[in-house]
A = this chain, B = another copy of it.
Amino acid sequence: MSEKLPKLIESLAKRARTASLSLAKASTADKNDALQKIAEVLESNRKLLAEENQKDLDAALENGLSEAMIDRLRLTHKRIDGMAKGLRELIELPDPVGDILEQRNRPNGLRIKKVRTPIGVIGIIFESRPNVTVDCAGLCLKSGNASILRGGKEAFHSNQALAQIVQDALQISNLPEDAVQLVPTVDRQALNHLLTLDEYIHCIIPRGGEGLIRFVSQNSQIPVIKHYKGVCNLFVEEEADLANAVDIAVSSKCGRPGVCNAIENLIISSKIAGEFLPLCAKELIARGCELRVDKEAAAILGDFTTVPAKEEDYAEEFLDLKIAVKVVNSIDEAIAFVNRFGSGHSESILTQNKTKADQFLKEVDASSVYWNASTRYTDGFEFGLGAEIGISTDRLHARGPMGLEELCTYKYNIVGTGQWK
């Protein structure tokens, strides 16, 4: 690595830290005004964006990237509109900074308030979707955090153009320009260096595939909040409404198979597997879904085309029209299966039995545990929390949808009258 690179990265991180101290005290009006300006500058720079995006698209074609990858890269008018709309939605959301979370008056006269504050500097490491640049910058700004963005090499020119737009807008706002910065290189060693700067950067959020998330977790000295894979399970218990269960199973697998809150495993009570499985398999297969089944399910589904499930199938996030099927003899077995193979994202039980539902809700160890609903509702907007930076599959700090409040920490403010001990 050139000697200049670590210096450049360090200077960028230091400037972000300085900016974060101003941002932490910025008014809601100033933050909303900056978000509005970013939306406007974005909308008035479509031509520049199209040109820079075209460079990435040309390179992608040249390098033989898949059509799915190229689609993610593309900054269409609709996507630009979407980014601007997202920024304007953030303006409408309440400012989380300064909320009083708890208040205590102590016998010695100290008055203690727990106050919500920004985290400080947040590093976002992402892959090829350039819209992440603007979405994350907006979320960090509204929650009073400075952000350092490091995008993938495929979207390099698009990200540079988007970051420039954000900085142009910040320059005509009352917020510091350094509040949002893009790492101006996709050099891996620059990323490695960034991940050591825990003096200036307080939280790293990787957004992307398993490989990226693992790389970041293993190389970061800075706390990482992972938005990892979604291996979600649906358990159809023996007292489920079977017609509704077919609808939920089919929609939560086939509705959008590529999203993290889609189900990957279907668990069925042996008491109703004989009745339920053929009904459900018929609908899944009609939608092009492959079934990977255990022996019990295979015996029931003799007339259908299925594939034998291997154990590792149950831990896989297919992100595709594939589903692994498991027959169980008890709710305890179902819960143990979910806690073993699930990724701690979203899990659901379908049953009319409240006692069993309560057991599942209590004992399943995941961010979002459902009774009689599809796992597809795990989402900041669906939960009424507003825009989110991702769905945390970690347990510390944020679990599940990570929105503006979860992009904050807190501090204690203690007011006395001269107390000492």
Contact = CB atoms under 8 A, between A and B. Distances in A.
B395 A203 contact: yes
Contact of A365 (B21, B104, B421): B21
Nearest to A358: B413
Contacts of A241: 418
A252 interface: yes
Contact of A409 (B25, B377, B395): B395
Copies of this protein in the assembly total 2
A397 interface: yes
A399 B244 CA distance: 45
Given A223-B394, A374-B421, A397-B397, 9 more contacts: A21-B339, A25-B362, A119-B395, A247-B418, A373-B418, A377-B414, A395-B409, A396-B396, A399-B410
Interface string A394-421: 1111011000000001111111111111
A202 B244 contact: no
A308 B371 CA distance: 67
Interface string A207-227: 000000000011001011100
A415 B33 CA distance: 38
A196 to B, nearest CB: 9
Given A112-B384, A218-B221, A396-B397, A415 B362 contact: no
A373 B411 contact: no
Contacts of A387: none
B414 A365 contact: no
Interface of A: 21, 24-25, 104, 106, 110, 112, 117, 119-120, 198, 202-203, 217-218, 221, 223-225, 241, 244, 247-248, 251-252, 255, 339, 350, 357, 361-363, 365-374, 376-378, 382-384, 394-397, 399-400, 409-421
Contact of A368 (B202, B362, B411, B417): B411
A202 B393 CA distance: 12
A203 B202 CA distance: 17
A419 B112 contact: no
B413 A369 contact: yes
A217 to B, nearest CB: 6
Given A372-B418, A416-B370, A418-B241, A400 B411 contact: yes
Contacts of A420: 247-248, 251-252, 255, 373-374, 376
Contacts of A361: 413, 415
Contacts of A382: 106, 110
The 7 closest A-B pairs by CB, nearest first: A373-B416, A374-B420, A397-B397, A396-B397, A395-B409, A251-B420, A244-B418
Given A21-B365, A421-B251, A416 B339 contact: no
B119 A418 contact: no
A304 to B, nearest CB: 23
Given A223-B396, A400-B411, A409-B396, A419 B365 contact: no
Contacts of A415: 357, 361, 370-373
Given A371-B415, A395-B202, A223 B221 contact: no
A368 B110 CA distance: 13
A421 B372 contact: no
A397 B251 CA distance: 35
A110 to B, nearest CB: 6
Chain B CB within 10 A, most for which of A367, A368, A415: A415
8 contacts: A21-B339, A241-B418, A255-B420, A371-B415, A372-B418, A373-B416, A377-B416, A397-B397
